[in-house]
Structure 1
Amino acid sequence: LMGSSDLYEQNGRKPVASVNFITAHDGFTMNDLVSYNEKHNEANKEGNNDGANDNRSWNCGVEGPTSIHDVNELRERQMRNLFSTLLMSQGIPMICAGDEVMRTQHGNNNAYCQDNAISWMSWDYNETQRDMFDFVSKLIHLRLHHPVLHRRRFFTGRSNDDDVCDIPQVEWLDHNGTVMDMEDWSNTHALSVMIYLNGSDIPETDWYGTRMVDNDFILIFNAHYEPITFTLPDKRYGEKWKLIVDTYNPKGPELLYEAGFNIVAQSRSFLLLMSEHKPEH
C-alpha cells in the first residue's frame, strides 16, 4: 500500500520504482482469480500439466461459472476489492488488459497457445461488465485528481519522538480508531485495518511550483467474512468525512460521517472516505 519503501528508499529510489499488480499476462485473469481454485488448461493439449499450480486464488465456493447469485456477487465484490487495493496503493499500478471488464480465460492460466475466444478480448459487454468498468474508471479518476494517492515521495509515519497530538503523513489505526501498537502489528489473525492519509502534508510542489495540498483520506479494509464496525478517528484528523467508495454497495449514496462516528464495513469490503473540505494552499 505504501510503495515498499523498505525495498527502495535506502537506495534513493522513489515510489515509482514499485510496480504494483494483481494479475499479469501469465496466470489467471482477475475474474478467474476469484472463480477458480485450480487451473483448467485442458485445451492446451498437455494433459493440464502446463502452467503454474500456485495460483493463490479462491473460487468463492464454486469452481467456475455458476448461477448462484451470492457467489457471483461475492466474486464481483472481491474484484472491486482487488482493484481498490491496487489503485489506492503508492507506486505504479499495472492492470492486465481486460480485467476492468471481467475478462475470463475459463480457468486457463497459460493461454499463450490459444488464438481463439479463450485469449481474445470480447468487446460485447453485459451490464455487469459495464458496471465493473465504471467502478475502475472512478478509482482511476480519484487517483489522478488526488496527489496524496500517488505521491512522488514515500510517506513518513509516526515516530516514537512525535508528540501524541502531532498528525503524521500516514496513520495506521485499528477498528476502534486507535493508533496501532506493536501488539496490533504482531497480530497475525487481524483481518481489518484503517489507514489515514494526510493530504495537507505533501512535501512536494506541482508543475507550477505551488505547494500541493489535498483532501485527507481514510481507507478501511475488512477481509473478514462478517461485518466489522469501525470508529472514525477523532477531530484532530478531520471533522467530517464523505463516503465515496464502498465495494459492498458500489452504487450507494455518498453519506457524510463526523469524527468519532461508527461506520460498518460489510463482509469482505473496502471503504474510502474523503475529508469534506480541502485545506487552502
Structure 2
Amino acid sequence: MTRSTELEAVYGNPLQLGVTKVKDGYNFAVRSFTDELTLEIYPVTASGDKNDSPLFTVDMDEAYRFGDVFAVEITGGDIDGCSYRYVHNGTMVRDDYAANLSGCSEFGHNIRDIKYITKIQSDIYDWENDRFPRIPYDECIFYKLHVRGFTKSRTSGVELSKRGTFAGITDKIPYLRSLGITTIELMPAYEFDEAGRFASDKEKHYSSSKPEKSGCVNYWGYLGGFHFAPKAAYCAASCSEGNYNGSYTDEFRDMVKALHANGIEVVMEMYFTHEESYLIEDCLRYWVMNYHVDGFHIYCDECRLSAAADDPVLGSTKIITVYWNNGRPGIHNQDECRIKRTKHMANYNTGFDEAAKRLLKGDENQLQTFARLLRANPADAADINYVTNHNGFTMMDLVSYDRKHNEANGEGNRDGENFNYSWNCGIEGPSRKKKINELRTRQIKNAFAMLFTAQGTPLILAGDEFGNSQSGNNNPYCIDNETTWLEWKESVQARSIADFVRILIDFRKSHKIMHMDSELTAADGLSCGYPDISYHGDNAWYSRMESYDRHIGVMYCSRYVKNEPADEVIYVAYNLHWEPHHLALPDLPEPNEWKIILSTDADNTAKLAGRQIITPPRSVTILTGSLIRTSTIKRRKRRS
C-alpha cells in the first residue's frame, strides 16, 4: 500500500457524487448540510474496529463545498480496495451513493458500531459480449421473486453456500428457462436496512425495521437504505467482517450476465423515500450502466417518477409503477408534472387481480369487468397483469383459506389485507380429502388460464407454479424462515400445476394473437367475417353478461397478426360457475372442426356437442379451429 504521505487532496468534481475513478485518482463527492466535513480513508487490511487508524484524512471546509456538496479528489497513490467514511463532530455522515458496504454480510444481523462502511472499488468488470435482451412487454413473461426466499430452503436443490443468494438464482436459470420465463422481477435487492443497523445515522432519518415481536426483521425490504449497493447478505461471496474483500458486487453482475445469456431480463424493485428523491435518476442510471439491469419497478412520488421515465439514458429501460397518469392530484398546473407515457413504461394492473379472483371465487357481477380486462392493452404504457403478488395470498393459499392467518407477525392478526377474495374450497387450510385437493388444483389452473389468456404482460409470483404456501399469512413482511422460503415441492399436485403452467406459457408464446402489441378492437377490420376478438354465450356472436352470469366464450382470429399469415381461430371457454354450461361455437368453413386442446378439468369432461361446447363446472377450456376453406386446400394441393 502506498504510504499516506504520498496521497494528496485537491478540489474535486461535485457533479460526480459518490466515489468515482478518474484519470489521476479517485473523486469523492457527498451531499451534506454541515459546514465542514472530514473524509477518512482506511487501509485494505483494516478490520473495522475502533483501534484502526486512518491511512489518510482530509478536513474539508467551505473551500471544498459546492452548494450542498463536498468534493475532493485524492491523487498520488492507489487506494482501490481501501474503505472510507465521512465524519462530522465525531458522528458518521452517510454517503447515499455508497456502492459497496461492509457490516451487512449477514442477513438480519445488527452491527451498529462499524467504524466505516464503504469500500472503494474501481467497478472494473468483464461483461464479455453481454447484451440487453430488450424484450417488448407483449413478449414478456414476468416472474417475481425474493432473492433470499427463492433458494434459501434445502428443497431448492441449490448447494448450501449459495442458498438465498444471487448465485442461487444463477443456478436456477435452467428451471426458469424450462418454465418459459423472460423477465425476473427482484423484490428489493439493494442494501436496505432490515435490522436497524443504520439507525445511528443522525444526519438523515430513515424508516428502519423494528417490529414489535422479538427476532423479526423487515424481510421484504421496502425501506430506505443504500440504493447503489447490491445487498451483501444476498451474495454467496460476501465475507465475514474480519475478512471482508468487497468482491460480492461481482456476484450480482455474474447473475445478470448469465441471465442475459439465456435471454432473461432483470427488473429491480426500488423503494425511495422523499428524502432520497434527488438521487433517483442517478441511481437508476448507475444500475443500468454498471450492472446492466433491464428495468425498475419504482416506488416514489410521481414527479420524480416522471423525470425518471423521461430520462434519455433510460429511454429503453423498463419503468414500472402502480399507475401512470397525466398529472399528480394537487398540482395546479398539470403541465408541471406531466408524464410522457411510452411503451418502455408499464402499469401494475391492480384491477385485473381483483376481477380475476372474484370471478374465480364465484362472485356475482364480475364477468363484464373481466371480459373488458381480457383485452386491455393501452397504446402508451403496458399493463402487467397478475392474480397474486407478494402482498396477499399465494395462489395455493388463495384457494385454501377464507381468512388471513398472520399471527406469526406478532401484531395480533391485525396487519395485512382483510379483503382477499379467496375461497378455501370447503375446508380452512391443508386437507387430505381428495375432492378438496382436486378442486383446489383445478382452481389454481383456472387462475393461471385466466392470467395467460389475457392481453398485456402476465406476472407469476415465484412458487405459485408448484403450489407454494405461506400457511395463510398474507403479509409475511417480517418473517425469515420456512414460511417465506419457497418449498420446492415434488408432489403429484405440484407437478400437475407446474406442467400446466409450462403448457400455458408455451401456448401463449406460440400464438401471437394472444399477446398483441396493441389493443384488439373487437371489430372486423379486415372484412374477413371474423373480428380480432369476439364474445359468445349461449348463442354464437352474442354474449350475455348479466350480474349472475359466470361463463363466456372468447374467440381470437389470428388473421389480425401482422406479417404472420395464419388462418387459425382460438376459442377460450370460461365457466367459473359451480354448474356445467353450454357455450355456442361459431361455424368454421367445411371440413374444419373445433378441437379441444387444453382444459383445467383433469377428467377432461368438456365435450363438443354440435355447435356447442359443454363446459364442466369451474373450468377453462381452450379450443382451436381452422379458417382454411376446402377450395383453398384443393388449390394448394394442385400447386404442390
Distance verdict in 2 for CA 1:213–1:13, change over 3 Å: farther
Distance verdict in 2 for CA 1:189–1:162, change over 3 Å: farther
Query: Which residue does 1:228 correspond to in 2?
Result: 581
- Cα distance between partner residues in 2 of 1:214 and 1:129: 36
Residue 621 of structure 2 is aligned with which of 257, 267, 271?
271
Structure 2 residue runs of 5 or longer lacking an equivalent are 1-372, 633-640
Residue 402 of structure 2 is aligned with which of 34, 37, 49?
37
Across the aligned residues of Structure 1 and Structure 2, the Cα RMSD in angstroms comes to 2.7
Deviation of residue 249 (structure 1)? 2.3
Residue 4 of structure 1 is aligned with which of 353, 356, 376?
376
Amino acid in the other structure paired with 1:139: L
Query: Which residue does 2:380 correspond to in 1?
Result: 13
Which moves more between the two structures, 51-60 or 121-130? 121-130
1:99 aligns with 2:448: no
Deviation of residue 262 (structure 1)? 2.8
Residue 194 of structure 1 is aligned with which of 553, 556, 576?
553
- Cα distance between partner residues in 1 of 2:580 and 2:613: 10
Query: Secondary structure of 2:473's match?
Result: coil
Alignment of 1:146-161 (within 5 A): 146-158=511-523
- Cα distance between partner residues in 2 of 1:115 and 1:214: 52
Q: How many residues align?
A: 258
Deviation of residue 106 (structure 1)? 0.5
Query: Secondary structure of 1:216's match?
Result: strand
Deviation of residue 222 (structure 1)? 0.7
Query: Secondary structure of 2:559's match?
Result: coil
Query: Which residue does 2:531 correspond to in 1?
Result: 168
Residue 52 of structure 1 is aligned with which of 398, 409, 417?
417
The superposition leaves residues 37-68 of structure 1 with CA deviations (integer Å, 9 ceiling, x where unpaired) of: 10001111111111111111111111111122
Query: Secondary structure of 1:43's match?
Result: helix
- Cα distance between partner residues in 1 of 2:374 and 2:495: 30
Distance verdict in 2 for CA 1:37–1:253, change over 3 Å: closer
Amino acid in the other structure paired with 2:516: R
The superposition leaves residues 218-254 of structure 1 with CA deviations (integer Å, 9 ceiling, x where unpaired) of: 010111111112232123699312211111127x599
Contact conserved, 1:244 with 1:254, CA < 8 A, in 2? no
Amino acid in the other structure paired with 1:219: V
Identity of aligned residues (%): 36
Deviation of residue 141 (structure 1)? 0.4
Contact conserved, 1:2 with 1:155, CA < 8 A, in 2? no
Distance verdict in 2 for CA 1:214–1:154, change over 3 Å: farther
- Cα distance between partner residues in 2 of 1:237 and 1:100: 39
Query: Which residue does 1:123 correspond to in 2?
Result: 488
Distance verdict in 2 for CA 1:236–1:201, change over 3 Å: farther
The superposition leaves residues 107-140 of structure 1 with CA deviations (integer Å, 9 ceiling, x where unpaired) of: 0011121111100112242121011100000000
Amino acid in the other structure paired with 2:380: R
Alignment of 1:73-112 (within 5 A): 73-112=438-477
The superposition leaves residues 72-99 of structure 1 with CA deviations (integer Å, 9 ceiling, x where unpaired) of: 1111111000000101110100000000
- Cα distance between partner residues in 2 of 1:238 and 1:193: 26
1:262 aligns with 2:615: no
Contact conserved, 1:243 with 1:273, CA < 8 A, in 2? yes
- Cα distance between partner residues in 1 of 2:515 and 2:473: 33
Deviation of residue 162 (structure 1)? 10
Alignment of 1:60-71 (within 5 A): 60-71=425-436
Which moves more between the two structures, 270-279 or 54-63? 270-279
Amino acid in the other structure paired with 1:266: P
Answer with 1 or 2: which has the greater Rg.
2
Deviation of residue 277 (structure 1)? 7.1
Contact conserved, 2:399 with 2:444, CA < 8 A, in 1? yes
- Cα distance between partner residues in 1 of 2:472 and 2:593: 44
Contact conserved, 2:374 with 2:453, CA < 8 A, in 1? no
- Cα distance between partner residues in 2 of 1:226 and 1:84: 19
- Cα distance between partner residues in 2 of 1:59 and 1:262: 32
Q: TM-score, normalised by structure 2?
A: 0.38
Contact conserved, 1:224 with 1:267, CA < 8 A, in 2? yes
- Cα distance between partner residues in 2 of 1:82 and 1:214: 28
Distance verdict in 2 for CA 1:54–1:216, change over 3 Å: same
Alignment of 1:205-216 (within 5 A): 205=563, 211-213=564-566, 215-216=568-569
Q: Which has the higher contact order (CA 8 A, sep 6+)?
A: 1
Query: Which residue does 1:208 correspond to in 2?
Result: none
Contact conserved, 1:175 with 1:194, CA < 8 A, in 2? no
Contact conserved, 1:38 with 1:107, CA < 8 A, in 2? yes
Amino acid in the other structure paired with 1:151: M
- Cα distance between partner residues in 2 of 1:278 and 1:65: 49
